Amino acid sequence: MDMKRDYYEDVQLFKSNVVLFWSAALLLVLFTIPLYTPNYYIYLFNIIMVHIILAVGLNILVGSTGQISLGHAGFFAIGAYGTVLMMTTFQLPFVLAILIAAFIAAFFGFILGLPALRLEGPYLAIVSLGFGLTIMHIIGGMDVFGGRMGVKVPPLDLGIKQLGISWILTTDFQKYYLILITTIIMVVGARNILKTRVGRSFVAIRDSDIAAEVIGVNLTIYKTLAFAVSAFYAGIAGGLFGFVLGFFDPFTFNMILSIIFLVMVVVGGLGTIAGGIMGAALITYLQYDLLKNIAEVPYFGALMVAVSKQWFTVVGLENFSSMAIGLIMIGIIIFEPLGMFGVWIRMKKYWMTWPF
């Protein structure tokens, strides 16, 4: 049922009319969400989509190329600070600013990719971890970045100031559409990357870098490229994230954030686009919404409060959030190594072969 007869069938964006229809329906729902959703959820959706961009980018690196990064909060920070700095100091229009910031992030990604040529596994993890922490402290130590007191984000103006065109997005609704369109472009872009020569080279490196080299994949180029692409995604996500928040400081981009990003990718499913999307959506929703309000969930909330009172310290219930995310991650690794994407594949198979 999933048999491909030629190359073009493999690279098609929509494999069948069914997929096309579903995609159109999904887009329709996404574009109309602000019509019937309270403002608070729009903010949550914005954060989720920003995380989706980042997770999809991180998945290219971690899932498809098989390199690890514990420093993606650093690229995220470069994107956020870079965009704001380009807009305030250099008076660049938003679109140009975020692109430049993302390319700066990509450049740093390339730099971080160089040690990756020699390092593997835990050693690479340590290098990237160091990178993330260093970026946070460098930014915090420089007054041009607002130091440790953070920066206030300028109005999100899509126009070009120099030409007198101004189109300022103020509400979460307006930002929602900007982020949604960006997310779609980035996700489709990621899919295209993975379906081309570049993407296949990434996968070859993941499966065996020696074998990849033997069949003619230039490791130097493709490993650093994977880092650069992934950092570019993080940069774009960071630039948008700054405007979702309106204000941020260096410690917003701490080490825990890098780890949460990795959790998203692992929980969602390594090496697939859909995995990144599902993981980012689930973890962000849990972290920002469900686990914050666990005490107000009917029945279960009361149970948790009682358990917390009985067994935990005064902040036991709040700590439950971290515990839950940890447990989910452990559970996924043990029972469903493909992540949520694996569950999805099985559901799809069941549905397609039903009733057999």
Partner 1 sequence: MFQKRMVVLWIAVWAVLCLAPAAQAAMPAGFDDNEIRIGQWGPQTGPAAPWGSVARGSKLLFDIVNEEGGIHGRKIKYFIRDDMYNPAQTVAVVKELVERQGVFAFVGGVGSATGMAVRDYLAAKKIAWIGPAAADKDFAFPLNPYLFASYPLYKDEGSILAKYIVEKLKMKKIGILYQNDAYGKDGLEGVKERLATYKMDLVAEIPVEPTEKDMASQVLRLKTAGAETVILYVMPTAAVITMKTAANVGFKPHWVASNTLSDYPLMFKITGGLWEGVITGALAETPDSKSPLMIKYREAAKRLAPEERWGVFYYAGIVFADPIVEALKKVGRNLSTEALLKALNSTKDHQTLGPKVNWTEKQHQGTDSVMIHKCGPNASYIMLQDWTTNDMATWKK
Concatenate the DSSP letters of all residues of 50-61 into one string.
Answer: HHHHHHHHHHII
**SS3 (DSSP) at 271:** coil
What are 206's two structure tokens? 């993941």
Q: How far is the CB of 7 from partner 1 (least distance, A)?
A: 26
Q: Which is nearer to partner 1, 65 or 183 (CB)?
A: 183
SS3 content of the chain, % helix, strand, coil (to 5): 75, 0, 20
Q: Which is nearer to partner 1, 34 or 113 (CB)?
A: 34
Q: How far is the CB of 223 from partner 1 (least distance, A)?
A: 31
Q: Which is nearer to partner 1, 314 or 334 (CB)?
A: 314
Q: How far is the CB of 236 from partner 1 (least distance, A)?
A: 17
Q: Which is nearer to partner 1, 11 or 24 (CB)?
A: 24
Do 242 and 82 form a contact (C-beta atoms < 8 A)? no
Q: Which is nearer to partner 1, 149 or 297 (CB)?
A: 149
Q: How far is the CB of 242 from partner 1 (least distance, A)?
A: 10
Q: Which is nearer to partner 1, 41 or 103 (CB)?
A: 41
**Cα–Cα distance between 339 and 333 in angstroms, integer?**
7
Q: How far is the CB of 252 from partner 1 (least distance, A)?
A: 6
Do 87 and 272 form a contact (C-beta atoms < 8 A)? no
Contact positions vs partner 1 (CB under 8 A): 18, 21-22, 25, 28-29, 32, 35-40, 43-44, 47, 137, 140-141, 147-150, 152, 241, 245-249, 251-252, 254, 256, 287-289, 292-293, 313-315, 318-319, 321-322
Give the largest Cα separation in the chain, rounded: 65
Q: How far is the CB of 156 from partner 1 (least distance, A)?
A: 14
Do 220 and 117 form a contact (C-beta atoms < 8 A)? yes
Q: Which is nearer to partner 1, 152 or 346 (CB)?
A: 152
Phi-psi bin for 66: left (phi > 0), alpha (psi -120 to 50), beta? Answer: left
DSSP state of 162: G
Name the one residue in this structure whose structure tokens are 């070859």.
204
Q: Per DSSP, which regions of 158-289 are E strands?
A: 168-169, 247-248
Task: Identify any residues that bridge with 229 across adjacent strands, giving them in sequence order.
Answer: none
Q: How far is the CB of 272 from partner 1 (least distance, A)?
A: 24
